[in-house]
């Protein structure tokens, strides 16, 4: 919207009901690498993949720990 249509950031931010700084960040991220701009919509960044894997591992380990605690009680 900002780059494609030449709309001012302030106007676009107002139209989208977001803060100007947030919109500027989105524009900057999109300009840096459009394919990785919004990781929630498409391929995930390697760091996010690792974080998700570690979160699953922590949840699994916590479940195992809880089972062992109950068995020992």
The predicted pLDDT at position 28 comes to 83
What kind and span of H or E run contains 14?
A: helix 9-16
Q: Taking the CA of residue 26 as centre, how many other CA atoms within 13 Å lie in the half-sphere pointing to its CB?
A: 14
All structural domains of the chain with their residue ranges: 1-38, 42-73
The predicted pLDDT at position 34 comes to 66
**18-57 pLDDT, tens digit each:** 898 988 888 888 776 766 666 666 667 788 889 999 999 9
């Amino acid at each position: 919207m900002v780059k494609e249509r030449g709309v001012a950031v302030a106007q676009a931010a107002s139209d989208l009901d977001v803060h100007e700084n947030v919109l500027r960040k989105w524009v900057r991220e999109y300009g840096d690498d459009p394919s990785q701009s919004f990781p929630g919509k498409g391929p995930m960044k390697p760091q996010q993949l690792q974080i998700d894997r570690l979160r699953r591992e922590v949840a699994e380990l916590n479940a195992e720990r809880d089972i062992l605690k109950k068995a020992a009680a």
